[in-house]
Chain A
C-alpha cells in the first residue's frame, strides 16, 4: 500500500476545509423581512440614485476619492438610496463614466477631483433634470444643476503651521506636496502663513522648508503613489534639521511617516483624514489637517433626497467645520495649554474674518 504523502494530506485537508465551509444552512426564501426589521430606523428612498465617478486614484487611495466614497456609503446606509460608482483608470474614462451614470438615471452624480470638471460640466448642461456635484473644483459654465464642493483648507493648515512652529525644537519645519496643483498647494500656503504668524507674534525665526509661498515653488514628490519619493524628501528635510513635517501627498505621506519613525525624534502632520485613525503611525502624528469630503458628499446627498438641491457652492471652512484640525491624541499632554488657547483664538479670528488666510490657490 502506498503511504500518505504530505501533499496528499494537504490536498485532503484543503478539500475538507472547503467542504466544511460550504456546509452552512441555506437562507429562507424570504429574507427581506429580516432586513427591514434590522434597519427600522433608516429611511428608505429606493427611487433616488446617487452616483460617484472617481479620478485616476480609485476608491482605495486613502485620500479624497476614498473620502468621497465613504460619504456616499454613509448616505446609502442612512437614507436607503440606490447608488452606482465608477472608477476611472485614465483621463479618457471621465466622459464615458459620467455618461454611463447619466444613462443609468442617476439623480445626483459626483465627479471627484478637478480633472472631471469638463465631463461634469457638459453632462450638467445636457441633462438639466439631473443634479451634479464636483469636488475640489468649480464648473466653468456654472449650470443651475451643478454644485461645486470646495474646501478652504488653507484655514486649517494655517492652524497646523502655527502649531508646528510652536512645537518645533529645532526652529525648522517642513512640508512637501504630491503634485503642484491648487488643491495641494492651498495646504502649503496656509501652513506657510501659520508659521509666519508665529514668527511675527513671538519674534521668532522658525524656518519652513519645502515651500516658498511668494515664489509658489517648493518640493514635490511628483505624484501620489511613489512612497519612496516621499521617504527620500523627508530624509532630506530631517538632515536639514526639520522636526515637524507635513506631507500633502496622499499615500506618499506614508513614506514620510516611515522616515520619521526611523528618525525617532521628528513628528508628522497628516492631511485629509485623521491620520491617527487612518494610518498605523498614530504615535508620531502630532495632528491632522482635516478636509471633510465625506461629510460634504453626505450633506449634498441629504439635500438631494429632500429635494433641496441647489447649485450654491459648498465651501468647507473652519466655520462650518468642513475643514479643521484633528485632536492631538497621543500628544494631548505635550501640547502646552497656551498653544491650545492660542489655536482656538486663531480659529475665532479666522471665522470672524479678523484674520484672513490668503492663498491664490484657495477656491474662489
Chain B
C-alpha cells in the first residue's frame, strides 16, 4: 500500500502535501477515537462551564458588569481573579496546598482526595462489573447502606482481637452488600425481573431499614435517642497509614487490591468471560454453554459485595458512626464514576480519584472563596454528560467523526475515486491534462 502511494505521489504534483494532510486527518481521527481524549476534553469543557457559572453568580463580577462600557478592564480583571481564586482553591484543596501553614498540611489535600476516592472506587467497580455484563445496577446506594450497616454493627457490638475484628467487619460489609445485590440478581435470574426497577426499589427499602434500625436501642447501643449509632471499636477501624494529622486509611490499599481483582476477574477468569459474554449476547452465551441465570446472579452478587465493601470502608475508615445519611450520594456518584471510567477497572480507579479530588477541593473552594459547593456537582454532571455523548464533544472541538462525517466521507470517496482513475490512466496523460 505504502509503496504504491509513494509511486503515486511521485507522479502526482502536490501529492506530498495531500499525503501530509491525510496523515494529519488520520492522526486527528485516531486521537478523537481515543476515549481518554474525549474524557480530557470533557473535563476541559466542564471547567469552562463551571467558570461561566461562577462568574454569573459572583457579586463582584456582577458589580463590574454594571459599568462594563465605562471601564471594561475591571470586568476582565475581576473575572480573571475570581476564576483564578476559585480554581486554584479547588486545586489546593485536592492536590497540594502551597499556602498551608505546615508542610504536613500542604500535602494533606492529596491524601484527602484519596480518602474520598476509596468508597467511590470500590462502589464504582461494583457498578462497572454490572455495566460490563449488560446490567444496570442502580442499587449502589442500597448496597452501600447495607454494607456500612453490617460493618458498623459488627464493629461496635462484637469484642474481638485486633485484625480479626476488622476482617470480620469488612467481610460482614461485603456480605451485606452481596445480599442486597443478590436479591436483585436472583430475582432477575429466576424470574427475569428488571434489575433497574428492583435495585431502585431496594435503595428505598435500605433507606427505611436503616432509619428503623437507628431507632432501636439494641442496634444503636448509645443510650441516647438521637438516630446515630455508637462508634466502632478501635480494633475494627481501618488503621491510618500516614499517622496523625492525616485521615488516609488502609481502605486505599483495599481499593487498589479490588481494582486488580476486578481486572483479573473480568479479563482473565472464566467467570468474567461468561459475565462479559452474557453482556454482549445472552442467547449466544447460552448456546455456547454458559449458565446464564447463574452468571446473572453472580454479577449482581459480586457487584453488590464491592459496593458493600465500599460502604464498609467508608464507615470503618472515616465515619466510624452510622447515621441515616451514611451513604450520602455515594451510590449515585459511583454510577457516574463507573461511566466516566468506561467500566474498565483502571478507568474506574482514576475516575474515582478525580471525583474524590473534586469533592476534597470543593470544601476548600467553598470555605476560602465562598464559591458554592454546588459548582462541583455541576462539574461532575457536565463531565458525565459529555462522556455519555462523544459526538457532542467532537462537535465542540471540531473533531472529525471516527467513521468520518458524511461530508468527509464523501470527500474521501471522491479522492479515492480520483486516485483510482489516476492509477488506471497512464501518467503522461495526467500531466497533459494538468
Contact = CB atoms under 8 A, between A and B. Distances in A.
Contact of A100 (B101, B314, B364, B377): B364
Interface stretch (B131-139, B221-229, B406-414): B221-229
Interface stretch (A84-92, A151-159, A283-291): A84-92
Interface residues of A, number: 37
B319 interface: yes
A89 B93 CA distance: 16
A94 B366 CA distance: 13
Contacts, number: 104
B307 interface: no
Contact of A90 (B105, B112, B228, B329): B329
Given A101-B367, A179-B324, A222-B208, A87 B226 contact: no
A24 B66 contact: yes
Given A86-B367, A92-B116, A118-B321, A22 B225 contact: no
A22 B61 CA distance: 12
B367 A23 contact: no
A90 B363 contact: no
B66 A100 contact: no
A360 B224 CA distance: 10
Contact of A89 (B66, B328, B368): B328
A95 B246 CA distance: 12
B112 A96 contact: yes
Nearest to A27: B67
Contacts of B225: 182, 360-361
Interface stretch (B17-25, B27-35, B69-77, B295-303): B69-77
Nearest to A88: B373
Given A27-B67, A92-B319, A181-B226, A86 B366 contact: yes
A84 B367 contact: yes
Contacts of B329: 89-90
Given A96-B360, A114-B226, A19 B377 contact: no
Interface string A16-35: 00010111111100000000
Contact of A182 (B226, B321, B373): B226
Contacts of A170: none
Nearest to A182: B225
Nearest to B100: A103
B377 A89 contact: yes
B377 A56 contact: no
A179 B69 contact: no
B373 A89 contact: yes
Contact of B215 (A56, A84, A90, A180): A180
A26 B319 CA distance: 51
Contacts of B256: none
A102 to B, nearest CB: 10
B67 A25 contact: yes
A97 B372 CA distance: 13
A355 interface: no
Interface in B326-353: 326, 328-330
Contacts of B323: 91, 115
Interface in B362-379: 363-364, 366-368, 370, 372-374, 377
Contacts of A344: none
A104 interface: yes
Contact of B326 (A91, A100, A179): A91
A137 interface: yes
B364 A95 contact: no
Contacts of A96: 112, 360, 363
Contacts of B370: 84-85
Nearest to A22: B68
A87 to B, nearest CB: 6
Interface string B302-327: 00000000000010001111011110
B65 interface: yes
Q: Which of A23, A24, A25, A137 has the most CB of B within 10 A?
A: A24
Contacts of A100: 93, 363-364, 366-368
A93 interface: yes
B325 A97 contact: no
Given A89-B373, A91-B319, A26 B211 contact: no
A86 B363 contact: yes
A175 B65 CA distance: 50
Contacts of B101: 103
11 contacts: A21-B66, A23-B67, A84-B367, A84-B370, A92-B318, A92-B328, A92-B330, A92-B359, A95-B247, A101-B367, A118-B321
Cβ-closest 8 pairs across A and B: A90-B328, A22-B68, A100-B367, A26-B70, A26-B71, A24-B66, A24-B67, A91-B325
Given A89-B329, A93-B359, A115-B323, 17 more contacts: A21-B66, A23-B69, A26-B71, A26-B74, A87-B366, A90-B328, A91-B323, A91-B328, A92-B328, A96-B363, A97-B363, A97-B367, A114-B228, A117-B226, A179-B324, A181-B227, A222-B211
